[in-house]
Structure 1
Amino acid sequence: MNILIVDDDVVDREHLVRTLNKANSYCHIVETESVDEGLAAFKAEKFDVVLLDYRMPKRDGIELLLELRSALVNQSVAIIMLSNSEESDLALECIKNGAQDFLLKSEVTSSRLQRAILQSQTRFELEKKLYKSYQEARELAEHDSLTGLANRYAFEEALRLNITQQPRDDAKLALILFDLDKFKFINDSHGHDIGDLLLKQVSNRVYKCLRENELFARVGGDEFAIILSHLKSVDNATRVTQRILNCFDEAFNILGIEIKMGASIGIAIFPDNSISATELLKYADIAMYRAKKLGRNQICYFEKKMQEQFLQQYQIEANLVGALERDEFILHYQPIVDTVTLQVIGFEALIRWNFQNTLHFPDSFIPIAESSRAIIDIGRWVIAQAIYQISTWNLQSDKALSIAINLSSVQLADRTLISFIKSLIEKYQVPPALIEFELTETALLDNSSQAIAVIESISQLGCHIALDDFGTGFSSVSHLQNFPINTVKIDKSLMLASHEPKTRALVDGLTAMLHSLGLNIVAEGIEDENNLRLCQQLNIQRIQGYFFSKPLSTACIEKKYL
């Protein structure tokens, strides 16, 4: 048996050693005279029993007791406190802080010490079993036995705690409730065993849609809850719930039975909807009920404004699916004019969506197409249509008109984009220098090797790269140095405000810098003759805007300019 003695009194230590040797000749004893020495010895080797003096200089025995107990969760070590004090409160304090026994030094005899050691060891083993039972009971009390997820009790406690600890800034918390559509039918048709297996598969599939720090609970038969905390935007909740909804697209296979399942999802936001955990839960439940009323397999926000916004976005995304096949997209073209001759020298291709007899502009659907990655196919259609059209016009007019094509940052992740562009150039025999791809500066903020490689490869094909909307947002001179940019387009917001002294000074400075770098300049938003004269004074090479023409259909362009 290994025994550690921690006592600053050398006489008391010697007495304990003699008593221990008398009682048990097979024990290994280590003596220390302070708390720090005791801790060092304990870290160096394993002990079965610690005999610990209560009163010592600098740090008393209770401090060591607390430190040892915090480190002894998985170790079988009995601790016996020793003292010359006969105060009953002292003995109780030692027991409450984790000691297994308390002995007066004056009463230490060979038999009493041996009995105390045996009893302390036995008591410690019982305490360990009791703690293990407590942990098992807590596991049962806080976790769902079928899925292993947190149960309703643990979820409600976590929700209250999260709301209490939510930082006082702009961060939000989203409470998501969802249940399985027509789950009762599954139970009635296939039996509860199949239903239970389905619940387990649903839990596993949804869990993969979440990060590890998001609480996921089963709060009822087929009802689940998720807490998303520290959200900077409600859009984060939308993305997570959309992933969850998407994970139901694939049928579940339960013992060879194919089961198609959907979910109705309700969302409530803290603090927008409520700062009360109870009310938040109620509102999420109401939102989930609304999702069912909307036709099931839906996502519904409690707040009407959020719900309208989500429905609009969801409908656009849903309607974009198949829009290419239905031939709903068209291109309009805005003339680009030479500033000196005022002749049309090219066009910018601008997409429009003709849906349900209404012409939708890019701002209303391109961001959604980007988030759903539908922009990959839509963008390819734009490139193909624009290159084909400029090829046709140049053949008809015997001119060398250029075409500007907007490129989304998402398209830069398309690994076959370069070969696609190259094939179109060869197919329609368009000189690459007549094709200009426009990128916004947000696209250049993506420093991924793939994005950089695509931009450089477009330039190597002989096509030009234009930096769009320059002078707003993320404008950075470093982009002009780090990327193969040929043209910079000054944002129309600057031209429209160019009559203001500060804006005029900014435009003057930008154009002077761009000229010094040898870059071509295009001014957007030319609305009147004053804008035109300014561009001529600043030697801006190309201009476009409503002063010359709004974007027009193919037929109108051919009638007016060719």
Structure 2
Amino acid sequence: MLSGARLYYQPQVSADGTSLVGVECLLRSVDAQGAVSGPQTILGTIENDAQADAVDWWIIRQACSDGLRWPKLSISINVGARQFQAPGFAGDLLALIGEIGNAPRQIELELLESGIIENFESAIATMDVLRRSGISIALDDFGTGYSSLAYLQRLPIDKLKLDKSLIDGTGELKPAAIVQAVTALSRALGLKVVAEGVETPAQQQFLRVAGCHLLQGYLFSPAVPAERIDAFVRDGWPAGR
């Protein structure tokens, strides 16, 4: 099921673009000829929850293991709503991190905003345990679903990630106003704000002025193999690009 699976990593940088702060891990499929494709080749083989769990835990283990190479960078890992509601998830994750040797504060879990949380009490309890250990929680793809404000209000999160669909429209009045308002609200709640899908210097300038803390997107780097992150860390950012 995981044949050809690899993790790629997309840099997250400071708003001025001068500092590499963290990376988000992204599942990729690499065939025998070295051609890289998105995760659907692998995810399309999943037939049940047990297989999904196996893939999720493989991703978490690999990301944490790679993260040992970059102790000063945060490692962001996508985790579904189902895992946050699963009994024992927090304990199993903390045990794995302890086994591998990461500092918990290096690990950030990203909850997809489009994921459906049916049991808020269970999810909140899990997040509280993880946050007390030092792990941070981010709400990913903010602006793509219907539960954004409810999740923002109810969940104990540390960071909000603005979806690329919002960033793409920042050259127009209404989308720009939404990004500014959400950023101001998030900062008022004590949350860090990450903008995804940044592709142009004009977007970077707007997001920096709007108050986003971190930026991520092709303007800085696509998702790359772990060896490229090694080079960024070794040679310095952005000189290592």
Please state which band the TM-score falls in when normalised by the shorter chain: 0.7 to 0.9
Structure 1 356/340 Cα, relative in aligned 2: closer, same or farther at 3 Å? closer
Question: Are 1:471 and 2:147 matched, yes or no?
Answer: no
Among 58, 66, 77, which residue is 1:381 paired with? 58
Equivalent-residue separation in structure 1 for 2:45 and 2:182 (angstroms): 32
Equivalent-residue separation in structure 2 for 1:496 and 1:469 (angstroms): 13
Amino acid aligned to 1:515: R
Amino acid aligned to 1:431: A
Query: 2:24 corresponds to which residue?
Result: 348
How far the C-alpha of 1:477 sits from its partner, in A, is: 1.9
* Equivalent pair of 1:329/1:352 in contact (CA under 8 Å): yes
Equivalent-residue separation in structure 1 for 2:84 and 2:190 (angstroms): 26
Structure 1 393/480 Cα, relative in aligned 2: closer, same or farther at 3 Å? same
Question: Are 1:442 and 2:119 matched, yes or no?
Answer: no
Percent identity between matched residues is 32
Query: 2:177 corresponds to which residue?
Result: 505
Q: Which has the higher helix share?
A: 1
Amino acid aligned to 2:171: H
Amino acid aligned to 2:215: I
Equivalent-residue separation in structure 2 for 1:359 and 1:332 (angstroms): 10
Instruction: Give the TM-score, by structure 1 length.
Output: 0.39
* Equivalent pair of 2:29/2:37 in contact (CA under 8 Å): yes
How far the C-alpha of 1:332 sits from its partner, in A, is: 0.3
Among 43, 48, 52, which residue is 1:366 paired with? 43
Amino acid aligned to 1:484: P
* Equivalent pair of 1:456/1:483 in contact (CA under 8 Å): no
Question: Are 1:480 and 2:157 matched, yes or no?
Answer: no
Matched length: 232
Question: Are 1:535 and 2:212 matched, yes or no?
Answer: no
1:238-387 aligned within 5 A = 320=1, 323=2, 326=3, 328-340=4-16, 342-355=18-31, 357=33, 358-363=35-40, 365-366=42-43, 369=46, 372-373=48-49, 374-387=51-64
How far the C-alpha of 1:386 sits from its partner, in A, is: 0.9
Amino acid aligned to 1:541: H
Structure 1 410/366 Cα, relative in aligned 2: closer, same or farther at 3 Å? farther
* Equivalent pair of 2:85/2:119 in contact (CA under 8 Å): no
Equivalent-residue separation in structure 2 for 1:452 and 1:362 (angstroms): 28
Q: Deviations over 1:120-177 (max 9, x none)?
A: xxxxxxxxxxxxxxxxxxxxxxxxxxxxxxxxxxxxxxxxxxxxxxxxxxxxxxxxxx
1:218-257 aligned within 5 A = none
Q: Deviations over 1:337-392 (max 9, x none)?
A: 011362101100111123555533125543763x6222201111111111111112
Equivalent-residue separation in structure 2 for 1:334 and 1:514 (angstroms): 23
- 3-state SS of paired residue (2:141): strand
Query: 1:525 corresponds to which residue?
Result: 197
* Equivalent pair of 2:70/2:233 in contact (CA under 8 Å): no
* Equivalent pair of 2:29/2:41 in contact (CA under 8 Å): no
Equivalent-residue separation in structure 1 for 2:201 and 2:220 (angstroms): 10
Structure 1 493/364 Cα, relative in aligned 2: closer, same or farther at 3 Å? farther
Equivalent-residue separation in structure 2 for 1:352 and 1:551 (angstroms): 9
* Equivalent pair of 1:444/1:479 in contact (CA under 8 Å): no
How far the C-alpha of 1:466 sits from its partner, in A, is: 0.3
Structure 1 443/453 Cα, relative in aligned 2: closer, same or farther at 3 Å? farther
Amino acid aligned to 2:173: P
Structure 1 353/413 Cα, relative in aligned 2: closer, same or farther at 3 Å? farther
Amino acid aligned to 1:441: E
Structure 1 380/340 Cα, relative in aligned 2: closer, same or farther at 3 Å? same
Structure 1 365/410 Cα, relative in aligned 2: closer, same or farther at 3 Å? farther
Structure 1 456/550 Cα, relative in aligned 2: closer, same or farther at 3 Å? same
How far the C-alpha of 1:475 sits from its partner, in A, is: 3.9
Query: 2:238 corresponds to which residue?
Result: none
Query: 1:75 corresponds to which residue?
Result: none
5+ residue gaps, structure 2, are 235-241
Structure 1 429/420 Cα, relative in aligned 2: closer, same or farther at 3 Å? same
Flag the structure with larger Rg. 1
Q: Deviations over 1:399-423 (max 9, x none)?
A: x211100002233354343222212
Query: 1:491 corresponds to which residue?
Result: 163
* Equivalent pair of 2:198/2:217 in contact (CA under 8 Å): yes
Q: Deviations over 1:493-519 (max 9, x none)?
A: 111121111111111111111111111
* Equivalent pair of 2:109/2:136 in contact (CA under 8 Å): yes
- 3-state SS of paired residue (1:439): strand
Amino acid aligned to 1:513: L
After superposition, the CA RMSD in angstroms is 2.2
- 3-state SS of paired residue (1:403): strand
Query: 1:24 corresponds to which residue?
Result: none
- 3-state SS of paired residue (2:69): helix
